[in-house]
């Protein structure tokens, strides 16, 4: 397949429109472009590439799920080993053990804060996260209200690929 850039496609498409007038539908234009500069082959190759990329994403996601499950199993195994080491050290009444593969030691627990009732903690001792309610803002803007710091914008065009 030869290299075709977007400018070439646009200029050839415009020439075809100029010759055929405004009656030209998309299918006829694409068919004519395909005859002139192989846009059909280009689109077919791009569709195949897009489908392959989607298949790879799905395959990788499946592998990642399996690896995440495996990671979780090893995390549980590590936690169980650490718990068992701690029980052995406590049962033996020792705080430090030097072994060929590692030195393990029991440390005194650190003081930490445990929140027992979040609603009764004074607000000056809380961090508040400001997060805009995009749904409410959109509704207000669509109703003609002014919302400082927000505006309605139309996103770029999107492409839909339906493949069997």
Buried b (16+ CB within 10 A) or exposed e, 31-64: ebbeeebebeebeeeeeeeeeeeeeeeeeeeeee
Q: Where exactly are the structural domains of the chain?
A: 1-37, 52-106
Instruction: Please give the average per-residue pLDDT across 110-114, as a whole number.
Output: 93
Confidence of residue 25 (pLDDT cuts 50, 70, 90): confident
Which residues does residue 91 pair with via DSSP β-bridges, in sequence order?
none
- Name the residue with higher pLDDT: 5 or 137: 137
Look at residue 1 in the predicted model and tell me its pLDDT: 54
pLDDT of residue 96: 95
pLDDT score recorded for residue 55:
96
The pLDDT tens digits of the residues spanning 136-163 come to: 999 999 999 999 999 999 998 887 878 7
């Amino acid at each position: 397949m030869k290299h075709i850039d977007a400018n070439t496609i646009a200029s050839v498409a415009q020439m075809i429109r100029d010759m055929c007038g405004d009656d030209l539908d998309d299918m006829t234009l694409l068919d004519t472009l395909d005859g002139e500069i192989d846009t059909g082959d280009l689109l077919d190759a791009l569709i195949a590439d897009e489908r392959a990329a989607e298949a790879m994403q799905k395959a990788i996601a499946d592998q990642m799920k399996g690896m995440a499950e495996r990671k979780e199993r090893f995390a549980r195994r590590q936690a169980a080993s650490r718990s068992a080491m701690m029980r052995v050290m406590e049962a033996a009444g020792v705080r430090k053990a030097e072994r060929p593969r590692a030195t393990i030691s029991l440390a005194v627990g650190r003081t930490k804060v445990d929140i027992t009732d979040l609603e009764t903690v004074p607000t000056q001792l809380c961090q508040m996260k400001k997060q805009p309610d995009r749904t409410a803002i959109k509704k207000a803007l669509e109703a003609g209200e002014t919302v400082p710091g927000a505006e309605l914008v139309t996103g770029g065009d999107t492409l839909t690929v339906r493949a069997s």
